[in-house]
Homo-oligomer: A and B are copies of this chain.
Amino acid sequence: MPEKVISRAVIRRLPRYYRYLNELQYEGVERISSGQLSKLMNVTASQIRQDLNNFGGFGQQGYGYNVAHLKEEIGKILYLDKVHNMIIVGGGNFGHALAGYRRFEEKNFIIRAVFDVDKSLIGTDIRGIPILDVAELPAYLAEHPTDIAILTVPKSVAQEVTDILVANGIKGIMNFAHLDLEVPDDVTVESIHLSENMMELSYRLGERR
């Protein structure tokens, strides 16, 4: 593992490398030059070389990159070789859709339980994932080591639920509630604000009119 700090921009690009390498591997491609990868991914070959040099390179002059090896190494950098145990808090439409989202599982992000307040949902399941009472969260977390909580509760209760998660040891939160969560320094939050993505699209569309 490298000692130097890697920029956020590089880290943000790694999942995309991983996705392309995964597809190449699926298609039976064994090796690829930075030039070919560059064409495929629509980024410059020099950017690819620079990005991957952050992690010690992986490429060989005149050979290019070994697809399986590079994919595996990027996977390790992203900790995809580790199983992440996850819960979803908020079993409404959005939480429900995410519980059915198989692409997480493929990357070792496993949803173990969904929590809600709705008595008509509690006790049911989403393709085998149990829906539990949100009041049981502390007891559940005490017994089941959990890496990441996906937060899909209404904005009005999102901070309150976050405080419970943090008090019970959660260090990673994927936040779909439309506010900025307050968390201690040792907790990592990734926020997805869909209406803000929509506004950015709106700006880019309007700009071109």
Query: Residues of A at under 8 Å CB distance from B?
Result: 11-12, 14-16, 18-19, 41-42, 77-80, 82, 84, 93-94, 96-98, 100-101, 103-104, 106-107, 109, 147-148, 171-172, 174, 178-180, 186, 188, 190, 192-206, 208
B109 x A198 contact (CB < 8 A)? yes
Can you name 17 extra interface pairs (CB under 8 A) apart from A103-B195, A106-B195, A148-B205? Answer: A12-B200, A16-B193, A19-B179, A19-B196, A78-B203, A93-B101, A103-B194, A104-B195, A107-B195, A147-B205, A171-B208, A172-B202, A188-B201, A188-B205, A190-B200, A192-B192, A192-B197
Closest chain B residue to A102, Cβ basis: B195
A11 x B103 contact (CB < 8 A)? no
A100 contacts across to B, CB distance below 8 A: 93
B15 x A194 contact (CB < 8 A)? no
Docked pose: A201 CA to B208 CA in angstroms: 33
Q: In the complex, which of the residues B148, B197, B199 contacts A14, with contact meaning CB atoms closer than 8 Å?
A: B199
Given A79-B206, A82-B206, A103-B194, residue A199 in contact with residue B18 (CB < 8 A): yes
Given A178-B103, A205-B172, residue A199 in contact with residue B96 (CB < 8 A): no
Closest chain B residue to A77, Cβ basis: B203
**How near does chain B come to A123, taking the closest CB pair, in angstroms?**
21
A200 x B42 contact (CB < 8 A)? no
Docked pose: A106 CA to B155 CA in angstroms: 15
A205 contacts across to B, CB distance below 8 A: 79, 147-148, 171-172, 188
Q: Which 6 A-B pairs have the closest CB atoms?
A: A15-B196, A79-B206, A93-B97, A190-B201, A97-B97, A15-B199
Docked pose: A199 CA to B14 CA in angstroms: 9
Docked pose: A93 CA to B174 CA in angstroms: 19
A179 contacts across to B, CB distance below 8 A: 19
Closest chain B residue to A201, Cβ basis: B190
A79 contacts across to B, CB distance below 8 A: 202-203, 205-206
**How near does chain B come to A37, taking the closest CB pair, in angstroms?**
13
Docked pose: A141 CA to B125 CA in angstroms: 38
